[in-house]
Structure 1
């Protein structure tokens, strides 16, 4: 089934799931239980039935604690790993089943910026070679002079002197390396960029420069972003819409202004309360009790119930379904549905 390219979203994710098997062979799956030999297969349930849309020109931020499945979502959207279930549609066409050469046209449209600029650049290649490689791969007929001209133009666009093309990655600072990583993503003129925590490895003084560069590139090239981060202060500056993940499930989806002014899910409220602020009138930080459950054995019902002070019997037995509110936000919470959140004066 194809979607409407004109009126539909640029990216549509439907019921996406990802499980990583822990038992790689038959012998590893054999277990002794009550004196009997049984076979049990274990898996990490990294992403669990999530759905969302990304419109053209948006900067969608995916936030949550470490291990909540953010990077896994990014890699599935970019086609680096295959989902265990669900569908991914890009520009009206389903892409999650594409393999090998069928992915080549998509690679030019979707590019990825990785978290660590110290690991994502090949130390044996000069900066010029690094930028020319994707161009040569996707445009084998392009001349050497054209490759060099394109690489130099992209370097200028991200604020790097083209004369640095002869340098190696180890000769650059972290911020300069990440600029090169952004330039590499832009060389093939993509429409959609997946950025997996692209500033978390950088100094705070450099983070703002890289963020502003990404915003400038968005305006100059008409880019759409899927931005993975755990820093909500970055989200407020960068994102147009926010997706809050917890243990591989979506808690809340809202535009940035709505989420920060009127968070609804108890987990979202707790996350926002932890953002450092200069104001003295902010309410006390919400301290969540308990430990995050293991994604190997997911809890029944709501994944957040073991840490939520509003959980009840329904939360333990029934997983909440996404519910759209009047302001356009989508929340998966029984307490929100039953209007019990306001009874607890958190924020």
Structure 2
């Protein structure tokens, strides 16, 4: 299998869906309704028909509320879980159906940084062993000395003293542990990093250090990022493109500057209004009302309709299709399509 990058996006996702079954056994699926016993299966619709591209060298940020499907998207792209429908292409080759040994070439290309550095590092392994494990697994022909030299070089590159190799994870702070997690991802020389909220478990002062480190590593190693976060202030500093998710569906896709200067979807406007701004002496926050629909029984129309002040009968009955605007952004909203959002001061 060839992983040479063809002309076009490094990562191409088309119609991606993920459902998690709630009723796995026969007895769980049997329901008594109308005097009859019927079989009904329920599922959580975590990701619903999303499509996007990631170009080489980009830092694409996926944002949205907790439970909107961000981490599920990250795990499908990294090959940790399989999609229910849709396709994932990397470097021109389809990867969503790979299993077992066929995944090995992909593991060296795509690495993942997890959210919680207190849980993602093995407490029984020293830092040296943690970094040596992926090196030994992916480079069986290299000697122990070569592997050790590589681990030391990676530790230095992320600002970790090689003398810490004999320490265990519990002896380090959260920021130091996340540096080790970043170093572990870099040991196999990947070209694509999936980062699932890598700074949310850290203190604010440490978050900036880790973000700056990731930017330095991007420049030094030519990395491409898929960055999962709920913090839009981080997106403005880190991302080149933003994907806004709501209830597993894409609301808006735009480059970072366009999204922050001219958000179009009502949900994006509400998210950005919640970002603290020092220059705003009178912040005009958009307070959303209504209930979030359950991902078990998705609404027939727009998933945001129950909370959107611009929703009408069409929004409740018909799911909006993504449309590309003149500035290159992609928006899935009937109000934007019909220019109702421009004509009404709903803020």
Query: TM-score normalised by the shorter chain: which range applies?
Result: over 0.9
Q: In the alignment, what sits opposite 2:295?
A: 295
Q: Is the 8 A contact 1:60 1:243 kept in 2?
A: yes
1:307 and 2:304 are equivalent in the alignment: no
CA distance in 2, matches of 1:4, 1:266: 40
Hey, what does 1:225 align to over in structure 2? Answer: 225
Matched, 1:61 2:87: no
Q: What is aligned with 1:87?
A: 87
Q: Classify the secondary structure of the residue corresponding to 1:119.
A: helix
Distance 1:148 1:287 in 2: 54
Instruction: Give, in whole Å, the separation in 1 of the partners of 2:24 and 2:97.
Output: 23
CA contact (8 A) 2:270 2:287 kept: yes
Structure 1 CA distance for aligned equivalents of residues 15 and 103 of structure 2: 21
RMSD: 1.2
1:49-103 residue CA offsets vs partner (Å, 9 max, x unmatched): 0000000000000000000000000000000000000000000000000000000
1:151 and 2:151 matched: yes
- State the Cα deviation string for residues 208-230 of structure 1 (Å, max 9, x = none): 00000000000000000000000
Q: TM-score, normalised on structure 1? A: 0.98
In structure 2, the partner of 1:262 is 262
**Alpha-carbon distance in 2 for matches of 1:36, 1:132:** 59
> Which structure 1 segments of 5+ residues have no match?
none
SS at match of 1:233: helix
Q: Quote the offset at 1:237 in angstroms.
A: 0.1
Instruction: Give the CA deviation at 1:317.
Output: 1.1
Change (3 A) 1:4 1:154: closer
**Aligned-partner Cα distance in 1 for 2:282–2:108:** 46
1:244-289 deviations in whole A, cap 9, x for unaligned? Answer: 0000000000000000000000000000000011113554100000
Contact 1:108–1:190 (CA under 8 A) maintained in structure 2: yes
Residue 50 (1) aligns with residue 45 (2): no
Distance in structure 2 (CA, Å) of the matches to 1:48 and 1:282: 37
Instruction: For residue 243 of structure 2, give the secondary structure of its aligned residue in structure 1.
Output: strand
2:309–2:346: 8 Å Cα contact kept in structure 1?
Answer: no
Query: How far apart in 2 are the matches of 1:340 and 1:260?
Result: 20
Q: Report the secondary structure of 2:198's partner residue.
A: coil
Could you list the runs of 5+ residues in structure 2 that have no partner in the other structure? none
1:187 positional shift? 0.1
